Every structure is written in C-alpha cells, then in structure tokens.
Copies of this chain bind each other. A is one copy, B any other.
C-alpha cells in the first residue's frame, strides 16, 4: 500500500497541529498553502517540528494544487461556506479529496444548499469526496447518537460546549467578534440574520443521523463582554474590559417527530480559571447525561480530522457528511493501512 499524500491548505493554528499529527501517522505532505507572511518558509519549521519537511509554503494555491499528485487536501481556512467555496472547488477540480474544519461545511445542505450542490456535483464529476469533520464529528454527532441508543423515548436533547477563542487563530477570533464593541457586534447580527453559526450544522447532522426531520429552527447569538482585561496569549492581543470576548450561540430545532434539540455553545477568550467543556443531556426515558472533561477542543478537532482521512479517501464520490461515514475510531496504524476498508 502506498502512503497517503496530503496538501495542507491553511497553515494556521489547526493546520500546524494537523501537520505534526499527519507526519506521525505516516502521511507524506507534498504541498502547503499558507499566508503570505509564511511564504517560502519550510512547513516543518512553521509547524514547530524540530526537523524540516522540505515543503515550502506557498500562497499560490493553483500552483500547489496542480503541481503535486496528492490524495487529499486538508483545508483549515474559514467557517462560512461562501468564503470556503472557491478554495474547496479548486481542490476538487484538481481531483483531490477534501477534508475541512469549516464549521458550516460539516452539514451545509440546509444553510448553503446551492454551493453544497455545486461542490457535490464537482466532486462526483472528478471522482473524489469532500467532507467536513473536526470536533463536531466523533465527540459530538457520533457520540450523541450512541448515547441516544440507550434512550427508549427522547423529549429533548441538549448539547453544551465551551472553547477558548485563543486556541484557533485570528480568523476564528474575528468570526467570534473578539475585541469588537457591543455596538459593532449588534450591528453585525442585524445585517446577517441567517448566520449558520457553529451549532446548526451539528444539530442538523445529528437529526439526520437519527433519521428525524427538521420542523423549525430558532437561533440567537449573544455577545459575551470581558469582565476584566483578558490576555489572549496565542493571538498576541489584549481584550479590554467591556469589549466582546466571544459569543454565546443558542440553537433550538424542533423535529416532526417531537424530539427537541438544543445547543448552547460558548466561544470566548478565557479568563485563567476557565476550561473547555462538552456535555450532552437527554431528557426522556431514561434521562441521560454524558460529560467529556479534561478536554482540549482544539487538539481533539485536529486528532479527529486526521483520524478521519482514510474514511474520506475510501468514501464514494460527492459531498459526504459524516453521518454517512463509518464511526470514527482510533488509528493504531499509519493511516494508509486503513485504505480500501
């Protein structure tokens, strides 16, 4: 079996971690597309490895994608499908499978149906697969489906997540409105009423995985204001007291089958005592409560993305969301050992 060849598309906070994880799982990285500030530097150096990878970072995506024969592009750029489309389409046109951290791409059919259909068509035409993965994959949708397997009757299912906006780089911090005034935040959401957010794709995927149908969706985005000056060390900036440190997103979806879904997600710059959180409550017969503690959502975003790579390469062509893939499991062997399974 040949090793898997990958192109790292986006060498930010997540791209750097995934580079190291992929190398340790026997993936050969044949190209890297990154920010202009890193152009010409070695990917290994930028990713903090203590050895060079002999892969120079370029900001010419077209040249990297056409110049290298690779199996998959690992794309970590933006949350929103409208910002992602161009990049994802370019990978597919070069016959590359794609896995991406884009939160909206995790289950984009309801919020970006046209762009998703175009990507699905492109992927099928070129015989490759595109999948959104990350934290939402195993530890949310897969895990919650399994928990629900112990339910006789479900009244409501609630997810609660909290992550540190300092862990994911400046693009995500901007998405969370870190450092804005409350007025700037409010103005944004008045002019963007149909924001997909992070949790709608999660709940829509969950609902699809359980074979249910969406009846209605309600969502809210609330700014969280810094109670004191907060140092975002990795972002290299200070969030002054009174400015936005992040946001609370609440998503409520009712289904035709009567099961109510709710997600509460906080992404913000932490004060020193705060930690990541992931839990699920099921109200029904019986009540169930699952907690994953000692968690780093950033790291486990990357570990899951990397463990998912063989499934994406193995999958049928098209835009394949994770509920259609095998359950995400540990990879004890180098990733190419799992090809053809």
B288 touches A295 (CB 8 A): yes
B303 touches A152 (CB 8 A): yes
Contacts of A286 in B (CB 8 A): 296, 299-300, 303
A294 touches B288 (CB 8 A): yes
Q: Which of B145, B152, B296, B330 contacts A148 (CB 8 A)?
A: B330
Query: Which residue on B lies nearest to A210, using beta carbons?
Result: B330
B291 touches A290 (CB 8 A): yes
User: Which residues of A, 62-77, contact B by the 8 Å Cβ criterion?
Assistant: none
Identical copies in the complex: 2
Q: Which of B147, B289, B291, B304 contacts A150 (CB 8 A)?
A: B304
Bound-state CA distance A43–B149 (Å) is 26
B146 touches A142 (CB 8 A): yes
Q: Which of B149, B209, B285, B332 contacts A142 (CB 8 A)?
A: B149
A147 touches B152 (CB 8 A): no
B149 touches A330 (CB 8 A): yes
B143 touches A211 (CB 8 A): no
Chain A interface helix/strand/loop/mixed: mixed
User: Which residues of A, 299-341, contact B by the 8 Å Cβ criterion?
Assistant: 299-300, 303-304, 306-307, 327-330, 332-333
Query: Which residue on B lies nearest to A303, using beta carbons?
Result: B152
Bound-state CA distance A304–B147 (Å) is 10
Query: Which residue on B lies nearest to A292, using beta carbons?
Result: B290
User: Which residues of A, 18-70, contact B by the 8 Å Cβ criterion?
Assistant: 21, 24-25
Interface size for A (C-beta < 8 A) is 48
Query: What distance in Å separates the Cβ of A48 from its nearest Cβ neighbour in chain B?
Result: 15
Query: Which residue on B lies nearest to A258, using beta carbons?
Result: B332
Query: Which residue on B lies nearest to A287, using beta carbons?
Result: B294
A303 touches B151 (CB 8 A): yes
Q: Is A214 positioned at the interface, with any CB of B under 8 Å from its CB?
A: no
Contacts of A307 in B (CB 8 A): 149-152
Known contacts A139-B146, A288-B295; A306/B210 CB under 8 A? no
Contacts of A296 in B (CB 8 A): 286
B148 touches A329 (CB 8 A): yes
B150 touches A259 (CB 8 A): no
> Closest 10 CB pairs between A and B?
A149-B328, A148-B330, A138-B149, A150-B300, A289-B294, A152-B303, A257-B332, A142-B146, A291-B291, A151-B330
